[in-house]
Structure 1
Amino acid sequence: MGLSALAILGPRCAAAIEDPLASSGVLYFFTPPGTSDTWSVENTRALTPGTTIPVPPARRTEGPGAHWRVCPGEKGWLTDPGALEAAIGDAFGPRVGEERPA
């Protein structure tokens, strides 16, 4: 789901780290401070201040282990949380019996 959301975000995605060894694979997106205070997107977990994650060396773009899926660049580290939430929703698609708004 994380890789699908990353693809949907395309150039709107800032830095992202993939850690395929962490609990069946994890994709970390960086968002502005405070995002975790109101984040309630199904099947995701916002990490709170003080949580540590593996940050790979600057040029590590392949595994094994944690690596950059999107390296921090001129756009910086932070992905817009609204765009990320929408991309995750699109990655999951509509639920059975639920229609997308026109």
Structure 2
Amino acid sequence: MPTTRLPTAAGCTLQDAGQAWDAVRVPCRLGLDAMTILGTRCGAALEYPNKAVYYFIPRGTAANWNVENTEAIGEGGTLTIPPARYTEAPGPHWRVCPGDGNWLTDARALQAAIEDASLSCTGEGRPT
């Protein structure tokens, strides 16, 4: 089966989910809106331009993740990870660079931010 290759920066590595972290794939616009809602509660966040934002959540969390319009990536999944300070396209790049110790976003905070961002995108919950 052929794989689609995205243009990537030199130094990118393919890393396995389910080891130190699981990840959540969120469509780009929704993911960026959720990032704004999370503010300083946001851990490292990776953008695949015009496709998705990936958030890193605690290992094992993907197994129970069930949030509409998202995809959890746990053990058996992989992500292309750019160098730590690569912050511009082309290819995958950091919207929030990984810190020295903790890449993770709290899964409950991420879920709430995605749900709030979804309401904003659909116009629900806005005053009339």
Q: TM-score, normalised by structure 2?
A: 0.68
Deviation at 1:74, TM superposition (A): 4.9
* Counterpart contact for 2:59–2:74, Cα < 8 Å: no
Counterpart check, 1:5 vs 2:31: no
Partner residue, 2:16: none
CA RMSD, Structure 1 to Structure 2 (Å): 2.0
Q: Runs ≥4 in structure 1, deviation > 3 angstroms? A: none
Equivalent residues, number: 96
Counterpart check, 1:16 vs 2:42: no
Higher relative contact order, structure no. (Cα contacts within 8 Å, ≥ 6 residues apart):
1
Which amino acid is the alignment partner of residue 36 of structure 1?
A
**Structure showing the higher strand proportion among its residues:** 2
Q: Tell me, which stretches of 5 or more residues in structure 2 are unaligned?
A: 1-29
Q: TM-score, normalised by structure 1?
A: 0.85
Which amino acid is the alignment partner of residue 51 of structure 1?
G
* Counterpart contact for 2:119–2:125, Cα < 8 Å: no
2:80 is paired with a residue whose SS is: coil
Between the aligned residues of both structures, percent identity stands at: 55
Deviation at 1:50, TM superposition (A): 2.0
* Counterpart contact for 1:14–1:75, Cα < 8 Å: no
The correspondence of residues 26-65 of structure 1 with structure 2, limited to 5 A, is 26-65=52-91
